[in-house]
Chain A
Amino acid sequence: MAIDVEHFTRSYGSFTAVDDLSLRVTAGEIVGLIGPNGAGKTTTLRALAGILRPTSGRIAIDGHDLATNAIQAKRRLAFMPDEPHLFEYLTVEEHLRLTARLYTVADFDARAKALIDELELAGKERSLPGELSRGMRQKVVIACGLVRDASVLLFDEPLTGLDPIGIRKMRSTIVARGRAGAAILVSSHLLHLVEEICTRVVIMDRGRKVADGTVAELASKAEAAAGSNLEQIFLRVTGRE
């Protein structure tokens, strides 16, 4: 199991952001994590990335427990947050090189060049973050995530700030990585994107998992009308219809 979450709970003081979440993602699966604002999606992703510690429960990446074997678990995952925080005085190429060094990437030059072309960052290799637009910086964060061979990819709103061409490319990039065998968890409010690229969807609301399955399974469970799209299912499941 690439991602294995068992009874994960995360609290901030008296507020419980995620409550008893269990979730599994296998290799090659692209799972969409959706839910209204404050549902606990980002907290879940940050805990999966090893940034937040669970208040209780267990998280394992490729069989490595994040609490007891954090380094091996982190080595196998790539987290692409929605807010691109980059080092102010490192260039695009240096960010990629630093990531490659930390994750021990062998064929860095070829990978970096391919990624720079794929994400349309060519010509910006020597730019500092301050010289890049929001979308460009988002692409750098994604490039840092993809430069290594991570078996688990976590995307938090991956399309934020991207232009239409970037969105299209990103969509095909995610699908290609899934086909190549990566386990992918994508959190997004763009339900049409989730419906289009994800093999399975998990819906969270108020910190709890309220539905899990393919779009057809969710429609059936929610007793939605035949031919309902993910948006209609989502509204029905979360009681906001």
Chain B
Amino acid sequence: MLGASLYISWCSAKNRVLVRLRRLREPRYLIGAVAGVAYFYFAIFARGQRAGRGPGRGQDRGIDFGPAFQSGGMSLAGLFALCFALVPWVLPARSKLLEFSEAEREFLFPAPVSRRQLLAHRIVRSQVGSIIASVFIGLFAAPIAGVARLRLAFAFWILAVTINVYGAAVSLTRARFQSPNANVRRSAWLPIGILAGAVAVVATSIGRQLLRQPPASAADLFVQLARVTSTGLTRVVLWPFIAIVSPPFGGSAAFIPAFASALLVLSAVIAWMLLNDSMFDEVAGQSQSAQADVDQTPASGTTTRSTRIGWTLPLTGRAELALFWKGVMETVRAVNIKSWRIVPPLIGLSVGLVGASFGIAGAQRMRGPSAFITAFGCLAAGVATLFGPQMMRLDLRSDFAHLDLLKSWPMRAADVIRGEMAWPVAAVSGVACFAILTAALFSGAGLPQVRFVDRWAVAIAVVIAAPAMIAAQFTVHNAATVLFPAWVQLGTQRTRGIDAMGQRLVMLAAVLVSLLLFAVPGAIGAGVIWLIFHRLVGAVVLIPMALVFAAIVLTEVLAVTELLGPAYEKIDVTSVERPE
């Protein structure tokens, strides 16, 4: 089976590269590849050459964290790893390692191979992604050079594989709780008991230390945590967690023993995962049912149930509104158990926004909850306007999987594009407007020094202008989708390859330049309004300025979507790269 796994991985990788090389015969993809190669050159090799001319040339320059970090810092990293290990137990997520492709299910599930071998196969197949990611980390790591890059790549690889396998092992163990057999259910408590014991030991030690000597500052808290986790039983309990995170931080001499320790931990995690192979059918079956568009048969009770939304599509009206309705249905129904996937990034975003809000409120000498809400609202509106169109992909980008169907509909191409964009534009605009209006409502207490009229003039202007800018960004993203169909990411699939990386760079530059081009005429129009009226009406002039700006930008959006029509008609559906 190992040979078969390696064969599948090798042939798939080789043929994927060949497909991408063939794609370079088209100039647009060639441009992406050139951009990707240029980025590689300037980001890695040219930088390496510059570093080579400096002091320490040709040396194996690794990261030197010093002896203090090697003791206390590593323990803290181990503590962090222990907390991270709790996450899949508390927030269960589907393990990618246990998601078999349709081809794997059809070829391998009926094959005379054991479930354990299938699990091992998934570990082997996941190596291509892990190795490529590790090589990139090694290449792009800025402060290091020489063999240290290789060491970092190995360290990242073992960390990535351990996290993947651990997640799969947790999923398989959790599945034991669904078993009708009491013994099977009981055995699931063993790893939970071990982890709970480790948490209890560490928490008790930390609690005692902090009660004995309350931390005087944040820095003191870290010092105390480092002290308590690097001694005694706590250190022993944390050893596996320290072992897995330690390889990147050692010098050349410490690397081999650190890597060997990490390898030992990985072996134990793999063994734990393989010992749970009896739960394979439960978990792989769930993953199968989750991939709704490739399902063969339903697994009762495991699929998403339809919920009544209370909005029936009228049978007459503009076709774009039908696509708007479809977007609403998909969004509302997608917010179910799958939403767990967005919990971690949402938490990260919220933490970032809250932190930044405190920062802004502090810098502006604003005090109280109103000040915080004002700052938070402004930031949330900014983030929604600038990054919302990149994050919410419920437009032509996600519907490319249904391109056959879309192209057979009796709709003008421009109407399809606008219809696909309508709901995400409305949703992101709604978030931005809600955030800015909330900020405006609380701004009286948060910013008492600014006049009421001025505050609301700004808020209303943003409410008018933000949807236009959001629509402009969606237009740019959908234009890229129509013009470069092979670069489109279908669903959660992420296109890979040097041309795809170049494409992302080209896209980033294109989005910025296009937004600038979209905004300039609107800004000129708004500027004219300002010159004429600002002396007469003060800050209120912002409202007509925003109206002119929005009108010009939305006219541009209409014009660009019309111009995209012929390109949409010419899209070759065979050029869309589909996942296995």
Contact = CB atoms under 8 A, between A and B. Distances in A.
A51 B408 contact: yes
Interface stretch (B263-271, B297-305, B430-438, B500-508): B297-305
B295 A53 contact: no
B313 A98 contact: yes
A53 B409 contact: no
A132 B317 CA distance: 30
B185 interface: no
Given A51-B404, A101-B315, A102-B411, A87 B573 contact: no
A102 B412 CA distance: 11
Residue picked from A71, A75, A101, most chain B C-beta under 10 Å: A101
Contacts of A149: none
Contacts of B295: 129-130
B410 A128 contact: no
B569 A101 contact: no
Given A51-B573, A81-B404, A89 B304 contact: yes
A240 to B, nearest CB: 27
Interface in A105-159: 105-106, 108, 126-134
Contact of A97 (B298, B313, B408, B574): B313
A208 interface: no
B408 A50 contact: yes
Nearest to B303: A130
B319 A108 contact: no
Nearest to B491: A88
A8 interface: no
A74 to B, nearest CB: 4
A126 B569 CA distance: 33
A129 B293 contact: yes
Interface stretch (B219-227, B278-286, B322-330, B542-550): B322-330
Nearest to B573: A51
Interface in B153-172: none
B306 interface: yes
B315 A105 contact: yes
A75 B409 CA distance: 8
Contacts of B402: 85, 87
Contacts of A74: 408-410
A137 to B, nearest CB: 9
Contact of B329 (A71, A90, A100, A132): A90
Residue picked from B322, B325, B408, B574, most chain A C-beta under 10 Å: B408
Contact of A94 (B292, B329, B411, B570): B329
Contact of B306 (A12, A70, A126, A134): A126
B304 A108 contact: no
B329 A128 contact: no
Interface in A65-89: 70-72, 74-75, 79, 81, 85-89
Interface string B401-440: 1111101111110000000000000000000000000000
Contacts of B403: 51
Interface residues of B, number: 41
A108 B315 CA distance: 8
Interface residues of A, number: 41
A70 B569 contact: yes
A189 interface: no
A79 B303 CA distance: 28
A228 interface: no
Contact of A130 (B292, B317, B319, B405): B292
Nearest to A78: B408
Nearest to A102: B409
A46 interface: yes
A52 interface: yes
Contact of A88 (B293, B404, B405, B412): B293
A53 B306 contact: no
A71 to B, nearest CB: 5
A51 B319 contact: no
B569 A102 contact: no
Nearest to B399: A87
Contacts of A81: 404
A91 interface: yes
B569 A88 contact: no
A104 interface: yes
Nearest to A17: B574
B296 A101 contact: no
A149 to B, nearest CB: 13
Contacts of B292: 88, 128-130
A81 B322 CA distance: 22
Contacts of A103: 410
Interface string B307-327: 000001111110100100110
A94 B404 contact: no
A89 B328 CA distance: 10
A87 B491 CA distance: 12
B322 A128 contact: no
Interface in A194-233: none
A112 to B, nearest CB: 10
Given A97-B312, A102-B319, A129-B293, A90 B573 contact: no
B333 interface: yes
A3 B334 CA distance: 40
A186 interface: no
A34 interface: no
A12 B575 CA distance: 10
A19 B82 CA distance: 64
A49 B304 CA distance: 32
Interface in B310-365: 312-317, 319, 322, 325-326, 329-330, 333-334
Interface of A: 12, 46, 49-53, 70-72, 74-75, 79, 81, 85-91, 94, 97-98, 100-106, 108, 126-134
20 contacts: A49-B408, A51-B404, A52-B572, A52-B573, A53-B569, A71-B410, A79-B408, A85-B402, A85-B405, A87-B402, A88-B330, A90-B329, A98-B313, A98-B322, A98-B326, A101-B314, A101-B322, A102-B319, A129-B293, A133-B297
